[in-house]
Amino acid sequence: MTNKFNKNSVGIVEPKTVEIKQSLKLDCGKTLDNFSLVYETYGKLNEKKNNAILICHALSGDHHAAGYHKEDDKKPGWWDSCIGPGKPFDTNKFFIVSLNNLGGCQGSTGPNTIDKKTKKEYGPDFPIVTVKDWVNSQKLLADFLEIDIWACVIGGSLGGMQALQWSISYPNKIKNSIVVAAAAKLSAQNIAFNEVARQAIITDPDFHDGRYNNFGVIPKRGLSIARMLGHITYLSDDSMRQKFGRDLREGKLHFGYDVDFQVESYLRYQAQAFVERFDANTYLLMTKALDYFDPAEEFEGDLSKAFEKTDSKFLVISFTSDWRFSSTKSREIVKSLVKARKKVSYSEIEANQGHDAFLMPIPQYLDVLKNFMDNIN
């Protein structure tokens, strides 16, 4: 392993691609006959093949969870604080798999992929996939990797929903689930924020009913509005106060619509960076996957029934200042697991970073993760 970085980095990693030839029936009724998934792995699969863990990404995440692609990369993968030798998801012990989900825009089959049947880009014709669909596609990846049972499936936010769904869809193929800053279903307010984001994208004249690539444009304005809005909901009021307060960018008000306050400048900058790297059709379908997630629905609205058959143990984590998926949401999951008489630990971490806390190297949080992982097997 090349490692000029530091002793607990996984160093340089290389994404791999698998073409899945089995057909996958989706919740929407359509079938994908074959599809590709891009993934990275960290650590080694042991002989018994019982040390594999799966990392599921959130709305704007991807397969690149740890390490670096190039020596001169400025930033490591998105969960590098948790993945590596000696870290909570310890590569000395575990074989870690992290993929870009179906419908994504970082290499897995999604709206920007050429449909082999039509020889044209899917674009808006790419089906809306659900958390359940993702879990089914991840099962096919597990089969390819010859992993029969996951030692653990882990995710934050939308990723946490996938960890939950794994325990329901494949109750005997998962020994542990870590569900961080997630919810068993979105609230009306969550759905409303997603709807505003979608409307911003869809009503952008450069959206062209999702066929913007045919017109050589991207719906920058709409995607940028969607990201700015999302960003506000990832931060807490308190963390924004600490970070920006009412600080003026140039020390004075302009009495115009250019940037006055630091927070405006920050949001615009972040949105611009996002627009460069993320696809609008993918953004849309990710928000729908969030909205549609409601595993209790098939069980007469009783979430505990959804968990009845699972062999998984659970660790549920929430953050005090997260108002997107508040601790109340995590406690609902915990209560249902308790009612289903499953083994569950719950930790509410004191943190002022809001929903984004799940990505941060907060000592108490890393300790809780590490302690749980150290006790696996």
User: C-alpha distances in angstroms, 320 versus 88, 191, 336?
Assistant: 21, 21, 20
Question: From the list 260, 279, 322, 356, which residue makes contact with its own copies (rule: CB under 8 A)?
Answer: 260
Q: Which one among 12, 15, 27, 208 touches its own copies, defined by CB under 8 A?
A: 27
Q: In this structure, what DSSP letter does residue 279 have?
A: -
| Cβ count near 331 (within 10 Å) | 14
* Contact stretch for its own copies (CB under 8 A) within 15-23, 69-77, 106-114, 238-246: 238-246
Note the residue count of the chain. Answer: 377
Contacts for 179 with CB less than 8 Å, ≥ 6 apart: 155, 160, 161, 163, 164, 314, 315, 316, 317, 330, 333
Is residue 237 annotated as part of the catalytic site, yes or no?
no
Our answer to whether residue 69 is catalytic in this structure is no
Interface pattern 292-311 for its own copies (x via CB under 8 A): x-x-----------------
Active site residue 133: no
Q: Is residue 284 at the binding interface for its own copies, with CB under 8 A as the rule?
A: yes
Q: Binding pattern to its own copies, positions 115-134, x when CB under 8 A?
A: ------------xx------
**Quick check: 136 and 159 in contact, CB under 8 A?**
no
Contact track, its own copies, 47-76, x by CB under 8 A: ------------------------------
Per CB under 8 A, 196 contacts its own copies: yes
Quick check: 36 and 17 in contact, CB under 8 A?
yes
Residue 242 in tokens: 């600490």
To its own copies, the closest distance from the beta carbon of 127 in angstroms equals: 7
Cβ atoms within 10 A of the Cβ of 319, count?
29
Exposure string of 119-145, with b = 16+ CB inside 10 Å and e = fewer, is eebbbbebbbbbbbbbbbbbbbbbeeb
Of 25, 340, 293, 339, the C-alpha closest to 160 is 293
Of the residues 20, 24, 183, 225, which one makes contact with its own copies according to CB under 8 A: 225
Distance CA 178, CA 376 (A): 12
Q: Which two tokens stand for residue 233?
A: 């909901």
Q: Which of 7, 257, 300, 363 binds its own copies (CB under 8 A)?
A: 257
Among candidate residues 157, 177, 330, 347, the one labeled active-site is 157
Q: Is 18 in the site for its own copies (CB under 8 A)?
A: no
Q: Which residues are catalytic?
A: 157, 322, 355
Interacting residues toward its own copies by CB under 8 A: 27-29, 127-128, 185-189, 191-193, 195-196, 198-200, 202-205, 221, 224-225, 228-229, 231-232, 235, 237, 240-241, 243-246, 253, 255-257, 260-261, 263-264, 267-268, 284, 288, 291-292, 294, 323
